Every structure is written in structure tokens, then in C-alpha cells.
Amino acid sequence: MAPSLEVHFDNWLREYGPRGRESVEADSVARLLDALEARYPRLRFKIRDETGNLRRYVRVFVDGSDVSGTTGVSTSLDGAKTIDILHSVAGG
């Protein structure tokens, strides 16, 4: 059985997904995102690109550790409690 995780989104992503915390059962970041996109279709392609990889301006934190530049969507969520998904802001 996959663990139940508490997922938090930044303000920008809340426009496309849940407005607050969301509880999701998943055993990897990829499956977590699959579940979220199934619940909130407007999230599709906001967090991942067309190949299924994280977009370069999105950061995923598993229990406070950024997995975006390392194991990414293949990161196991075994033992994890909280997931934070943040959209980077760029400007000039």
C-alpha cells in the first residue's frame, strides 16, 4: 500500500490544482503527479513536460529535500510525509 502524503502547492500552482493541502497516496513522485493530474487536469504540463520529466522551473521537495535536480520523478516516496511543489519565478 502506498503511503498517504500531504502535498502543498505554491500560490501559482494553486490556480491549477488544489487550493490548500491535498492528501495523496503514491509510492513515487511520478505516481504522485499522475494522481494529482487525474484529479486536477489543469495541472497537466504545468509541473512536467511532454516527456514526463519535471519542468526546469519546478522544484519538488520530499520532506524538505529538493529532488528536482537528482532523482526527479523516479524518487521513491517510501517513508515520506510531506511534498512541496514550487514553481520558480524568473524575471528581469
Question: What is the model's pLDDT at position 82?
Answer: 96
If you average pLDDT over residues 5-33, what whole number do you get?
A: 93
Confidence band of 91 (pLDDT split at 50, 70, 90): low
Q: What is the CB neighbour count within 10 angstroms for residue 43?
A: 20
The model scores a pTM over 0.85: yes
| Whether pLDDT at 92 is above 60 | no
pLDDT in tens, 28-84: 999 999 999 999 999 999 999 999 999 999 999 999 999 998 999 999 999 999 999
Q: Which domains does the chain have, with CATH numbers?
A: 4-87 (3.10.20.30)
| Whether pLDDT at 2 is above 90 | no
Q: Which residue type occupies 65?
A: S
What strands, in cross-sheet order, belong to the sheet with 58-62? Answer: 22-25, 4-9, 82-87, 58-62, 65-66
